[in-house]
Amino acid sequence: MKLDGKVVLITGGSRGIGRAVALAFASEGARVAVVSRNKDRCAEVATQISKSGGSALGIQADVASEADVARMVEQVKAKWQRVDILVNVAAVNLPYRAVTDLSLEEWNWIIGVNLTGTFLCCRAVLPLMIEQRSGKIINFSSLGGRVGAAGRTPYRSSKAAIINFTECLAAEVKEFNIDVNTICPGAVATDMLREITLGKMPAHAMPPEDVAAVAVFLASDESRAITGTAIDVLGPGNPLFGKATAFPR
């Protein structure tokens, strides 16, 4: 098993990509802390892992809350005494919204969860990883972090910032044997995508399990030569195949 005995903390782990990552990591022998704002959904994923013979912990937390993030890490530390891998999947988005129609509250909500949440979670686990002199951090950006699109300003701005944040952090912590990378998925068949496109799921959307497989690789020892890198996982929606980079609205 590629992740046997590793302690993994996954935000946004109750549905979509995060859920697929949690299940994939557990299947590779990891002990998984599943974090979500939805208590019942993260408990359901943790129970599914446990019933399959794995070890899991469900934690209700809002990654945009400094206090919640601190409590989340303390719970993982209390159960397993360490954090080997952090996967920042938690994110929020909106349906098509022009900048002139975007409220400050909506802007702050998206930046707060997507970007500030990633920062808070990284900052909270780094003391443990530095003490261990090892660690893997996987942040989630998006194809939207590479290219802009009308009506997607707050989400794509947050995702572009995550790519640069990852590069900066990777440079800071390499001396401690901590690797930090970003995954940039294209269209993925998730509830979030259905919500922001008002049910108009792109035909080229890929299953979240395809993205989870890349996360397993980046979390494993096989990726030891990779840090500070953003990896595109675009599936059949790759613009090279002529697919549009903007989602339907």
Predicted confidence (pLDDT) per residue in 104-163, tens digit: 999 999 999 999 999 999 999 999 999 999 999 999 999 999 999 999 999 999 999 999
215, part of any domain? yes
CATH number at residue 61: 3.40.50.720
Whether 1 maps to a domain, the answer reads: no
Range of the domain at 18: 7-232
In a domain, 60, yes or no: yes
Query: How much is the pLDDT for 239?
Result: 83
pLDDT grade for 193, boundaries at 50, 70 and 90: confident
pLDDT tens figures, 59-82: 999 999 999 999 999 999 999 999
Burial of 112 (0-12, 13-18, 19+ CB in 10 A): middle
The pLDDT tens digits of the residues spanning 15-45 come to: 999 999 999 999 999 999 999 999 999 999 9
What's this model's pTM, rounded to 2 decimal places? 0.95
Q: Report yes or no on 55 lying in a domain.
A: yes
Looking at the 3D structure of the chain, how many domains does it have?
A: 1
Neighbours of 175 (CB within 10 A): 9
Query: Can you tell me the distance from the alpha carbon of 230 to that of 247, in angstroms, rounded to the nearest whole number?
Result: 21
Domain for residue 52, yes or no? yes
Domain for residue 2, yes or no? Answer: no
Tokens of 222: 């096989």
Q: Name which of 2-11, 200-209, 237-246 the model is least confident about.
A: 237-246
Residues labelled as active-site residues: 155
The angle formed by the CA atoms of residues 128, 130 and 136, to the nearest 5 degrees, is: 80
CA distance 228 to 13: 23
CB 7 within 8 A of CB 83: yes
Mean pLDDT of 71-99: 97
In-domain check, residue 247: no
Parallel, antiparallel or unpaired: strands 55-60 and 85-88: unpaired
pLDDT at 237 over 90: no
pLDDT at 248: 64
Strand extents, DSSP E, 66-207? 85-88, 135-140, 178-185
Asked whether residue 243 is assigned to any structural domain, the reply reads: no
Give tens-digit pLDDT for 201-225.
788 888 999 999 999 999 999 999 9
Sequence-distant (6+) residues with CB within 8 A of 43 are 58
- What's residue 245's pLDDT? 56
Q: What is the C-alpha separation between 240 and 242, in angstroms, rounded?
A: 5
